[in-house]
A and B are shown apart, each in its own frame.
Chain A
Amino acid sequence: MDSVLKTGTAEAPKENRIGLKSSDYQGGKSTLCAGCGHDAISNQIVRAFYEMSIKPESVAKFSGIGCSSKTPAYFMQRSHGFNTVHGRMPAVATGAMLANHRLMGIGVSGDGDTASIGLGQFMHMVRRNIPMIYIIENNGVYGLTKGQFSATADEGSKLKTGVVNDLHPMDLCALAVQLGCGFVARGFAGDPKQMINILKASIAHDGMAVIDVISPCVTFNNHEGSTKGYQYSKDHQELLHQIGFVQSYEQIEVDYEPGTVKEVEMHDGSKILLKKLEEDYDASSPIEALKRLHRAEEEGQMLTGLVHLNPQKKSFISLLNVTDDVLATLPLERTRPPKEALAKIMKDLM
């Protein structure tokens, strides 16, 4: 079954709506292993930002430490990037987004970086609803340190060395839903068509978008007995729905049987289309999301799609009620109160 919903037939133009070419969104050459799932994700990030006509100069890329965290160097080199310290990308990204809330933030992390050393910061970032995209390139192992289990490794999953993981895995999607995230999705690096639609939808979302992408590690976790390898993932992928994304200026050119497709309108006027499959999944309900994720785990399914969507949730920036102008570059006359203000403060202390 195709994970994607067809919405039109138009071919992609050579330039996007702001006159940039796809090559303007490229990054440096990847140094990851050939066939790494992460590179497939980087390619879809390039495509999504290009097709969404996001100016690369308005984007800030963040990461922690690990194979996945190297990838911001491999896409959109016209964007500022910050490869921070292990598990601490959320704090750095939060600070940067506060300093300049007009930046479009995209963070790339891994399962070690997010689910272990950085779990606390990840959870607090979700709780604050920092308006940015947070991608976890999830392969169940530590690649850079050569193949130790991570906290998302499935119970019973086997390392090449024969070591079996006997601990319960952490489900970062369930965690994000529980913490009130307004956009939670799971993708698969081996399903780029679904990925591009999820990414575009996340770009349109005003709030934190958590995307957990099963991204096989070809070197340390792609063998028989692994539950995060390509073959296993293909065999166990379970679609919540077919997903389509339509930008505000686009027309939906395909007719659907009434009642089979849900449309969700985003802040920028774009639409996410979710087509019902065997089950009628309601992505707007966090309770249903948690139930369904739990069932997937029990039944050994790799559930993909838009797990939860609530575009109305207020972002941290709007809750802080900061000025519409960028804090970082406010002129002194707006950040230094007048002389009379100090005189009054001093008088009160006399």
Chain B
Amino acid sequence: MAVSSLVTRYASLVTGHIRYNFPPLRSIKESYVSDLSSVTAVLEEPARGGRAPVVNDLTIHVATVNGSGSQSSNSVLMRSIFQMGVPVSGKNMFPSNIAGLPTWFTIRANKDGWTARKREVDVMVCMNAQTAKEDVEALDPGALCIYDAPLNCKAIRNDIVFFEVPFAKLAGELTPDSRLRKLLTNMIYVGIIAELIGIDREEINGALNKQFKGKTKAIEPNVQAIDKGMEFARSSLPSQNRWRIERMNKTAGKIIIDGNAAAAIGAMFGGVTVVTWYPITPSSSLCESLIDYLKQHRIEKDGKATFAVVQAEDELAAVGMVLGAGWAGARSMTSTAGPGISLMAEFIGLGYFAEIPGVIWDIQRVGPSTGLPTRTAQGDVNQVALLSHGDTQHIVLIPSSVSECFDFASEALDLAEQFQTPIFVLSDLDLGMNNWMSDPFVYPEKPITRGKVLTKEKLTELNGKWGRYADVDGDGIPWRTLPGTDHPFASYFTRGSGHDTQARYSEKPEDYKALVDRLKKKYETAKQYVPKPAVDIRDGAKIGFIAYGTTDFALEEARHQLLSERSIETSYFRLRALPFTEELRDFVATHDRVYVVEQNRDGQMGDLIRLELGEDQRKIRKVLHYIGLPCDARFITNEVLRMEA
């Protein structure tokens, strides 16, 4: 039984609405929550019985078998709600398997725009015999459960509202084709849910059209399946008035996209030219989307490509190609997950030491080792921050939303060339593979940065006198030339071994020290250029939060819970990059206790923050969520209340 029965589930809707003042990049969520005064649903207490319906605030959890084609149905359901104007998110919890293992899809619709994972399930759809018992047992009393008749879920407990559906019979009435029947079965539950919670038929048709890209042949049988489900719900199921979706206007003009596709679009508009990759969950879809977009938008009139993509033989080769391309002047990138990052360690050291640009996206999954390949975590922080033997420190960008995936994709390519070093972008499975609502991405108007490159003309001006690793500008960033530059003094020799300012081999103590000290200085310079944290300081708040990446969604909701339920005002520092910038110390200094909330066991970022802080490190407390599922708000709220007690 879920622990949430201890919690006043709906209290957050009733009291203490505040107008949030988010930093600029938070415009998406701001648009959800800036109009909280319009919230009308009033639930005095969450007891059972005759109550007003909960409008536009529900979680639908669908349990199926992977490979059964439920993805399309779930997308249609989610998109229909989205088209009703209700903020929505969709999370796929899937196994590392092709077909036959349990998979779940969770849709959270929330009028206030809270789209983090929520533990409590309101509407359960049980289609999978393997998990039906567990799925039903995990529900809170009073939840609604639609289940496939043979599963006989109603026998499991008696405090759930059960709706039994003979899916096989209904699907059998639609088609004699057994394969199609399987797919249509999933569409039938879409029709049933739509009828039960009040989704407009018109919006479902729109969503179907979108899902099947206007192909009538594909759409038609699905329309019939949805009709079938709706008709069955009308004629054979009792109506329910507990959860309703009603039309509102919070999604007009918004897009739905996953973070990997957003990153791909960002990279394409960021002028990426060489892309290398090795398939690994959950990052594969980043480069796969990128290939699709590049083929559509980066083939010139003569049919030739302004990009090169290579599926490498492994992650070692992928990052080696990225560095080779970066060395030769391309804007190059790869994407991978933790196991790939582990393999890349040696090359990253070379990139850092020989000062070669390149971008590496890490779509984090649960480690160590193979770990849980299809579950989410933020466990690669330490690894990417310091990857390689010897003294290394890397610039890391940490997007929290799909729009930041878009922005940081080109930002990372810029920083790589500006700082001549590998740049990591740390995303995760939740952000990368799940569906998020967002404002449309803004076209990048600013020209790209190509960094300090000496051309043939500049070399002539300098009479060929230059040093590849000389710090002529005092910022730790040297000048480079690209191979192929037509000047007799353009060349230099790149090596991962010790070198002097002229790129000559050197093992001299003073040369080595000067080199690594300059690299440190370069890292210091980066503090002025990496994305600044998004800081929200509240008057009188004694508690501060620090979080990054996808924890943001749950954290904002938890802050709302703390304020509305406990009148605890909190400040929030959303970290968007490494190295840490000066704002970090200031933030910690102005609060009594600072909770670093992250999704790993050891509080990796918390440790890096402690190292950075000195005296103030005693203020740091850790809230750690590491079960493979995205962090939820209630977890954070409970943990903070426990530690505050």
What are 25 pairs between A and B in contact, CB < 8 Å? Answer: A57-B487, A57-B488, A80-B482, A80-B483, A80-B491, A80-B492, A80-B494, A82-B495, A83-B495, A88-B347, A94-B317, A95-B322, A96-B325, A98-B324, A99-B325, A124-B313, A322-B305, A327-B308, A328-B325, A332-B271, A335-B273, A339-B443, A341-B297, A343-B443, A350-B254
Expressed in whole angstroms, the minimum distance between the Cβ of B436 and any Cβ of chain A is: 11
A52 interfacial by beta-carbon distance below 8 Å: no
- The CB with the most chain B CB atoms within 10 A, among A81, A96, A99, A349, is that of A99
B193 interfacial by beta-carbon distance below 8 Å: no
DSSP majority for the A interface?
helix
Expressed in whole angstroms, the minimum distance between the Cβ of A76 and any Cβ of chain B is: 8
B49 interfacial by beta-carbon distance below 8 Å: no
Cβ contacts under 8 Å, A349 to chain B: 255-257, 440
Cβ contacts under 8 Å, B443 to chain A: 339, 342-343
CA distance A252 to B274 in the complex (A): 43
Residues 77-113 (chain A) with a chain B CB within 8 angstroms: 77-85, 88, 90-100, 102-103
Judging by beta carbons under 8 Å apart, are B505 and A73 in contact? yes
7 closest A-B pairs by beta carbon, nearest first, are A95-B324, A91-B320, A328-B329, A99-B330, A80-B483, A95-B321, A99-B328
B535 interfacial by beta-carbon distance below 8 Å: no
Judging by beta carbons under 8 Å apart, are B329 and A100 in contact? yes
CA distance A350 to B313 in the complex (A): 36
Cβ contacts under 8 Å, A58 to chain B: 484, 486
Judging by beta carbons under 8 Å apart, are B305 and A336 in contact? no
Cβ contacts under 8 Å, A336 to chain B: 269-271, 444, 448
B236 interfacial by beta-carbon distance below 8 Å: no
Q: Across the A-B interface, how many residue pairs have beta carbons closer than 8 Å? A: 216
B300 interfacial by beta-carbon distance below 8 Å: yes
CA distance A103 to B327 in the complex (A): 13
CA distance A82 to B492 in the complex (A): 9
Judging by beta carbons under 8 Å apart, are B276 and A95 in contact? yes
| Cβ 8 A contact of B304, one of A99, A100, A324 | A324
Question: A interface vs B, CB < 8 Å?
Answer: 24, 55-58, 60, 72-73, 77-85, 88, 90-100, 102-103, 120-121, 124, 128, 320-324, 326-330, 332, 334-337, 339, 341-343, 345-346, 349-350
- The answer to whether residues A99 and B274 also contact, given A321-B305, A322-B305 and a CB cut-off of 8 A, is yes
B536 interfacial by beta-carbon distance below 8 Å: no
Cβ contacts under 8 Å, A103 to chain B: 328, 483-484
Judging by beta carbons under 8 Å apart, are B497 and A83 in contact? yes
B268 interfacial by beta-carbon distance below 8 Å: yes
Judging by beta carbons under 8 Å apart, are A99 and B273 in contact? yes
Judging by beta carbons under 8 Å apart, are B317 and A124 in contact? yes
B312 interfacial by beta-carbon distance below 8 Å: yes
Judging by beta carbons under 8 Å apart, are A98 and B347 in contact? no
0/1 interface trace, chain B 479-514, chain A, CB 8 Å (1 if under): 001111111101111111100000001000000000
Judging by beta carbons under 8 Å apart, are A328 and B273 in contact? yes
Cβ contacts under 8 Å, A91 to chain B: 312, 316-321, 324
Judging by beta carbons under 8 Å apart, are B298 and A85 in contact? no
CA distance A93 to B304 in the complex (A): 22
Judging by beta carbons under 8 Å apart, are B268 and A337 in contact? yes
Cβ contacts under 8 Å, A342 to chain B: 265, 269, 441, 443
Judging by beta carbons under 8 Å apart, are A332 and B448 in contact? yes
**Shortest Cβ distance from B438 into A: residue:** A349
CA distance A339 to B304 in the complex (A): 21
Judging by beta carbons under 8 Å apart, are A320 and B316 in contact? no
B307 interfacial by beta-carbon distance below 8 Å: yes
Judging by beta carbons under 8 Å apart, are B488 and A95 in contact? no
| Cβ 8 A contact of B483, one of A100, A124, A322 | A100
Judging by beta carbons under 8 Å apart, are A321 and B496 in contact? no
Cβ contacts under 8 Å, B326 to chain A: 95, 99
Expressed in whole angstroms, the minimum distance between the Cβ of B487 and any Cβ of chain A is: 7
Cβ contacts under 8 Å, A320 to chain B: 305, 308-309
Cβ contacts under 8 Å, A90 to chain B: 317, 320
Expressed in whole angstroms, the minimum distance between the Cβ of B486 and any Cβ of chain A is: 5
Expressed in whole angstroms, the minimum distance between the Cβ of A123 and any Cβ of chain B is: 8
CA distance A72 to B495 in the complex (A): 11
**Shortest Cβ distance from A101 into B: residue:** B308
CA distance A4 to B144 in the complex (A): 87
B447 interfacial by beta-carbon distance below 8 Å: yes
B24 interfacial by beta-carbon distance below 8 Å: no
- Contacts A73-B505, A328-B330, A330-B273 given; 13 further ones with Cβ under 8 A? A73-B493, A80-B482, A83-B495, A84-B496, A91-B317, A95-B325, A96-B328, A98-B321, A120-B313, A128-B310, A327-B273, A328-B273, A339-B443
- The CB with the most chain B CB atoms within 10 A, among A84, A100, A320, A328, is that of A328
Cβ contacts under 8 Å, B306 to chain A: 322-323, 327, 330, 334-335
